Amino acid sequence: MKYILVSGGVISGIGKGIIASSIGTILKSCGVRVTAIKIDPYLNIDAGTFSPYEHGEVFVLDDGGEVDLDLGNYERFLNAKLHRDNNITTGKIYQHVINKERRGDYLGKTVQVVPHISDAIMEWVERVAKIPVDESNNTPEVCIIELGGTIGDIEGMPFVEAFRQFQFKVKQENFCNIHVSLLPQPSATGEQKSKPTQHSVRALRGLGLSPDLIVCRSRSPMEDEVKQKVSNFCHVGPSQVLGVHDCTSIYRVPILLEEQNVSQYFAKRLGLPIKARKSTLSKWRALADKQDRVHGKVTIALVGKYTKLEDSYASVIKALKHSAIAANRKLDLTIIEAQNLEDNMKIENPVGYYEAWKMLCCADGVLVPGGFGNRGTEGKIAAVHWARTHRKPFLGICLGMQMAVVEFARNELGLKDANSTENCPTAEYPVVIDMPEHTNMDMGGTQRLGKRTSVFKKECLLKKLYKNVDQIDERHRHRYEVNPSFVHQFEERGFNFTAQDIEEGIRMEAIELEGHPFFVGVQSHPEFKSRPLHPSPPYLGFVLASCGKLQAFLQRGCRLSPRGEHLLSTTEDSDSEADYEVGSVMAKKTSSDESVDRLAAGDASVQR
C-alpha cells in the first residue's frame, strides 16, 4: 500500500480536497486502484449533528455514515463508495482509545497522546486503506489521506505526529507528502507572494514532515520566478513545485496537474505501475469544454433555509449542475429563503417577500430540498403550492417531498391544518409522522440513514427516468415519513405514492402527481449519488422538464440526443458505454466530479 498525505498551509478553503481528489483521479486514470481518507481534526464523532451553517452539508454514505462533504468530492471524483471509517475525526479516535482503556486493554498503563492516540491513528489508517471501494472489490493500491485544517493547528498536532512516525513505519518508498499552499497576490502590486508558503513549509518540516510536492494555489498561473523561489526557499526541486490557478471549471484541475507530470512523478517516487491510459482525463477536458461552451440557461429556484452558505446544499447544487450540462444548459440557480415566502413577511419584510416571490415566479423549475425543523416550512409549502397550481416542474427532496404531501392534504383533500408532526406534534391531520424506531433523545446517528432499496409500485415517470428498473438504491437521512393511513385519500385524487421501501413495505419513498408536467418527490437524497457524467435520474428529469426537453428525452428512450449519443463522446474511450449511461441506477464506472467551482472560480467566500 502506498500512502499520499495531503496537508494544507497558509489558510484553509483553498481547495485542498479537490487537489487531493484530482490526484486520485489522475492515478485512477492510469489504472491504479485508489482510496481516500479524510481527517477532520475536530472533536465531534461525525458530521451528523452539525448545523449546515457550521461545515456545509452533511454528506451521507451507503453505510449510513454522516460525514464531511469532502467525502462527496472523493466519491464523485473517484467514483468510489467510501465507508464511514474513511472519515476520521479526533472524536472517533479518542472514543476508540477511551473504550479500549475502559476495557482494560492497556493493562493499567498511563494512556497518552503519544503513543496511544498516535498509534490508534496509524492503525486506523492502515486498516481502512485496505477496504475495497470500487466494483472490482480488490484492495486499493494507493490511499490518499487529506488532513483537514492547516499545518500548525493545535487540533491537527496528534495527526501530524502520527504521520511523522508513519513514514518510517511504512517506509519512505511507500509514503509521500503533498503540501497545498497559497500564493497571495496583493492587488497593490499584483505580484505572487511566496513568503506564506515558505513559512508554512518551514512549520511542516519543523514537525518532521518534508514535502515531496508543493502545490501552490493562485489566482493566475504561477510565474516561473515564483516557482524558482519556492523551490529555492523550500528546499525542493523546481519539478516538485506545481501550480494550480483558478480556472473556469473544477474539471480542469486534474488536467492542469497532469500537464505538470504528476503521474510520472508518482510512478517514480512510489514505484507505481502506471499505465498510460488517459481516456478519463480527456473526458474531463471534454466536460469542462462543454461547460464553457453552453449558452442557454435553465433557471432553478432552490427554496431552502440554510441559504447563507451555498455549501449547505453542495450535493443538490452539484446534481443540478450535472443535469444542466447534460441538458446543454447553464444552471442559473436562485436560492430563495423559504421564510421570505410566508404571508407574515408581507408586513415584516416586504422587500424580502416580494423579491422572493419574484424569484420564484421567474424560475423554470422549483426544487425544495431536505431540511430539519419548523422554520421556513410554511414558505416551502407555499412554493410547492405555486409550482403545483402553475404547472411548474417541481422536485421535492426528503423534507421537500413531505411538504408536498402536507400542501396537497391542506389544499386538495380539505384536511385543514394538516401537517408533519415534526412541525406540529398535535396536528389534527398528521400526514407526516415520526418513525417510531428512529425516535430517540440522542440526536447523533439515530435517523434512518444510508442506502435503502425502494420498489416501484406503479408505472410512473420516475420509473422511466430510472430506465424502467423495478427497484432502486438511494441514500436516506430522515426521522419522519408519510403517514400510511392517509395514502388512500391521496391516491384517489391522483397524488400517487409510486415507490415503497422493500423491507418495511409501508414507507412511502416517492410521490408523483398525475396530469402535471413534472411533480415528483422522493424521500431519499439521490443527489449523493449524482456524477458529472452520470446525473441522478430524478434531477435530470426535473432539469429537462424545466427546460422543456423532458418529453423528447422520454420519447427517445431516455437518450439525450436524437442520434442516441452519450453525454460526451470521446473517441479514445476504451471503457464501456455504461460509463455514460444516463439514468442507470447502480453507479457504474464513471469518473470525475466537480466541487471546487468555488476553487475554480477563486471564490473566497467559500473558505470554510
Q: Which of 28, 83, 322, 477 binds ligand GLN (CB under 6 A)?
A: 477
Tell me which stretch binds ligand GLN (CB under 6 A): 79-87, 240-248, 337-345, 364-372.
364-372
Helices in 335-393 by DSSP H: which ranges?
345-348, 350-362, 377-389
497-528 burial, b at 16+ Cβ within 10 Å, e below that, comes to bbbbbbeeeebbbbbbbeebbbbbbbbbbbbb
Tell me, residue by residue from 402 to 441, as one string, x for binding to ligand GLN by CB under 6 A and - for no binding. Answer: --------------------x-------------------
Opening angle at CA 191, ends 190 and 194, nearest 5: 140
What is the closest distance, in whole angstroms, from the C-beta atom of residue 472 to ligand GLN in the complex? 18
Contact flag: residue 371 with ligand GLN (CB under 6 A): yes
The one-letter code for the residue type at 197 is T
CB 303 within 8 A of CB 380: yes
DSSP state of 524: S
User: Which residues are annotated as catalytic?
Assistant: 398, 525, 527
Tell me which stretch binds ligand GLN (CB under 6 A): 30-38, 90-98, 471-479, 499-507.
471-479
Nearest to 286 by CA among 533, 575, 600: 533
Contact flag: residue 370 with ligand GLN (CB under 6 A): yes
Tell me which stretch binds ligand GLN (CB under 6 A): 22-30, 345-353, 450-458, 475-483.
475-483
Tell me which stretch binds ligand GLN (CB under 6 A): 119-127, 228-236, 369-377, 407-415.
369-377
Q: Which of 372, 412, 457, 484 binds ligand GLN (CB under 6 A)?
A: 372
What is the closest distance, in whole angstroms, from the C-beta atom of residue 302 to ligand GLN in the complex? 13
The one-letter code for the residue type at 51 is S
User: CB-wise, 124 or 490, nearer to ligand GLN?
Assistant: 490
Contact flag: residue 64 with ligand GLN (CB under 6 A): no
Q: Which residues contact 291 (CB under 8 A, 6 or more apart)?
A: 248, 249, 251, 325
Tell me, residue by residue from 479 to 498, as one string, x for binding to ligand GLN by CB under 6 A and - for no binding. Answer: xx------------------
Contact flag: residue 156 with ligand GLN (CB under 6 A): no
User: CB-wise, 222 or 302, nearer to ligand GLN?
Assistant: 302
CB 61 within 8 A of CB 48: no
Map grid coordinates 489522475 to a residue. Answer: 26
User: CB-wise, 183 or 405, nearer to ligand GLN?
Assistant: 405
Q: Which residues contact 38 (CB under 8 A, 6 or more apart)?
A: 17, 67, 68, 70, 71, 74, 86, 87, 88, 145, 146, 148
What is the closest distance, in whole angstroms, from the C-beta atom of residue 220 to ligand GLN in the complex? 40
Secondary structure percentages of the chain, helix, strand, coil, to 5: 40, 20, 40
Nearest residue relative to ligand GLN (C-beta): 370
Q: Are strands 394-397 and 418-420 parallel, antiparallel or unpaired?
A: unpaired
Q: Which of 26, 67, 222, 398 binds ligand GLN (CB under 6 A)?
A: 398
Q: Hey, which residues between 503 and 562 contact ligand GLN (CB under 6 A)?
A: none
Binding site for ligand GLN (CB under 6 A): 370-372, 398-399, 422, 477-480
